[in-house]
């Protein structure tokens, strides 16, 4: 009787839940197959599918939590990867969250202001993504069309830019979200600065030491250690911190509506980023910082701001270039070498790029986005180009997409940058919003100069922060009226607080 009862229960469960059981069984078979054929990566991806489905449901109900989760993961993904905490490809968490957010935006189109998406930056990115899509047909190396390798390269070179633009312009749609974006960016930058300080004064972890010894010998130069914090490398850290410092200094100076404590917070964050920039030993970062400041002098439209900023920055650069003050400090000594025209590393880059030019004359479309060190054979004409370190994001794009590609990239980049500058200079009337817009524009310009000197532009966390930040500039005119109301409310509350304090002081004296 008991056996019959058990049999009946099993039959009943199977009839009621047969579809779910079958689905789980099929998922297990797929995971097992992926484990055998692809290893842990494929297995982990398949096993994550139920979790992704559950998170998608959660994300539908809590859109902004999903966005801020993306922002934080984007910042820490290289740090987690160094410690082998990433069982999936590095870019996958970002892409999954971005696709979920974009899917939510399509489903909930009315409440997310999708009409604001179409602007100069969007069309510039469409052109660039379209060009990189055409590159799938590029067979300069005569090796055939490799769609899988092309897609892998195009994701990082083009599509991630569009993802970052879309999620930021759709979700950073209110004044409070813009402020939260800046605060969270500042908090993450402070953590990066802290970790660099920790590496310098407390020491590296065992994994970081192993990485320094075996994977990054360029990080100890003439006895000077270049600190990399939670970033992929010191160059990425230095350029990111330079651009971030510019943004936070501008916000602290120009954002009048926030309280003085918050302005001090942004200013201290700017100082921390500047120190970290020096700790990275990335000489290009000095020029990134200088370029960002010079752009702000123009965008500020204020002699009261432009003159003192120019004087302070000019004095700083004069000390660095024309004096030996601080030469005993290894970080300052390393940065000062950026102005040495006879520096050996600079000469090596010029030699490499001169050699590349000879090959690239016959490749106006580049060697192809799908071509890299691993899939260009030794007997191929373009093997040397594929294995030579580009040492620059712009050179990397030139090698893979040719003179046509790098021209397209520069033109589209200038389109989106100048479009944002026009908004700041002509369209925005609110001074605080002008400052926020200028901060994003100057940071974008600074990181691009860093990309010219180092291959860091498409590295994590730069795309979401700087391309996403520039996207926010395009949303500012749409929220200016709302921001004016919020600013007036903040100022009125501040004045009311002052009045109450004054009354209490008078009452205590009486």
Q: Could you read off the pLDDT of 234-245 as tens digits, one per residue?
A: 999 999 999 999
* 419-433 per-position pLDDT tens digit: 999 999 999 998 889
pLDDT at 210: 85
444, containing H or E segment: helix 431-453
pTM as predicted: 0.85
pLDDT at 261: 82
| Whole-angstrom distance, CA of residue 443 vs CA of residue 357 | 31
| Whole-angstrom distance, CA of residue 304 vs CA of residue 300 | 9
pLDDT classification of 322: cutoffs 50, 70, 90: low
Tell which wins on pLDDT, 261 or 324: 261
Is residue 166 within 8 A of residue 117, CB to CB? The reply is yes
Most confident of 19-33, 142-156, 236-250, 476-490: 236-250
**DSSP letter, residue 158:** I
Q: Give the orientation angle of helix 468-509 with respect to helix 160-171, to 10 degrees.
A: 30
pLDDT at 51: 63
* 345-400 per-position pLDDT tens digit: 555 677 777 778 888 888 899 888 988 766 777 788 888 888 887 888 999 999 99
**DSSP letter, residue 85:** -
Q: What is the DSSP string of 454-509?
A: STTTTSTTHIIIIIHHHHHHHHHHHHHHHHHHHHHHHHHHHHHHHHHHHHHHHHHH
**DSSP letter, residue 116:** G
Is residue 419 within 8 A of residue 119, CB to CB? The reply is yes
Per this entry, what is the length of the chain? 510
Q: What SS3 class is residue 225?
A: strand
Is residue 460 within 8 A of residue 244, CB to CB? The reply is no
pLDDT at 275: 95
* 432-485 per-position pLDDT tens digit: 899 999 999 999 999 999 999 889 999 999 999 999 999 999 999 999 998 888
| Whole-angstrom distance, CA of residue 172 vs CA of residue 192 | 24
| Whole-angstrom distance, CA of residue 192 vs CA of residue 76 | 9
């Amino acid at each position: 009787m008991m056996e019959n009862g058990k049999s009946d229960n099993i039959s009943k469960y199977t009839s009621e839940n047969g579809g779910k059981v079958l689905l789980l069984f099929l998922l297990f078979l797929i995971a097992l197959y992926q484990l055998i054929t692809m290893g842990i990566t494929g297995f982990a991806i398949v096993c994550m599918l139920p979790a992704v489905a559950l998170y998608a449901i959660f994300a539908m109900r809590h859109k902004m939590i999903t966005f801020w989760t993306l922002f934080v993961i984007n910042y820490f993904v290289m740090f987690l990867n160094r410690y082998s905490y990433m069982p999936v490809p590095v870019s996958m968490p970002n892409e999954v969250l971005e696709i979920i957010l974009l899917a939510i935006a399509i489903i909930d189109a009315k409440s997310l202001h999708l009409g604001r998406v179409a602007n100069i930056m969007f069309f510039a990115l469409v052109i660039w993504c379209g060009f990189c899509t055409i590159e799938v047909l590029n067979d300069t190396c005569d090796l055939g069309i490799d769609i899988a390798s092309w897609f892998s390269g195009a994701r990082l070179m083009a599509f991630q830019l569009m993802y970052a633009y879309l999620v930021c312009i759709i979700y950073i749609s209110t004044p409070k979200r813009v402020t939260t974006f800046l605060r969270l960016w500042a908090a993450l930058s402070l953590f990066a600065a802290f970790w660099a300080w920790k590496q310098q004064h407390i020491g590296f972890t065992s994994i970081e030491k192993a990485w320094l010894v075996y994977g990054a010998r360029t990080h100890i130069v003439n006895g000077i250690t270049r600190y990399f914090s939670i970033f992929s490398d010191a160059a990425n850290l230095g350029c990111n911190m330079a651009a971030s410092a510019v943004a936070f200094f501008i916000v602290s100076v120009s954002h009048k509506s926030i309280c003085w404590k918050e302005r001090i917070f942004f200013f201290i964050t700017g100082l921390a980023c500047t120190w970290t920039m020096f700790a990275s030993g990335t000489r290009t970062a000095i020029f990134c910082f200088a370029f960002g400041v010079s752009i702000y002098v123009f965008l500020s439209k204020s002699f009261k701001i432009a003159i003192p900023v120019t004087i302070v920055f000019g004095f700083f650069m004069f000390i660095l270039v024309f004096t030996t003050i601080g030469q005993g400090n290894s970080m300052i000594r390393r940065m000062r070498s950026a102005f040495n025209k006879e520096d050996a590393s600079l000469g090596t880059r010029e030699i490499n790029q001169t050699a590349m030019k000879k090959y690239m004359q016959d490749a106006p479309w580049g060697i192809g986005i799908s071509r890299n060190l691993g899939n260009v054979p030794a007997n191929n004409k373009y093997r040397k180009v594929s294995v030579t370190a580009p040492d620059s994001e712009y050179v990397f794009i030139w090698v893979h997409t040719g003179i046509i590609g790098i021209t397209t990239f520069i033109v589209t980049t200038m389109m989106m940058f100048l479009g944002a500058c026009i908004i700041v200079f002509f369209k925005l009337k609110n001074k605080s919003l002008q400052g926020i817009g200028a901060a994003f524009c100057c940071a974008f310009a600074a990181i691009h100069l860093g990309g010219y000197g180092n291959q860091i532009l498409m590295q994590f966390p730069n795309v979401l922060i700087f391309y996403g930040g520039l996207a926010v500039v395009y949303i500012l005119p749409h929220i200016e009226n709302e921001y004016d109301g919020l600013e007036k409310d903040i100022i009125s509350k501040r004045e009311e607080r002052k009045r109450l304090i004054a009354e209490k002081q008078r009452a205590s004296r009486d």
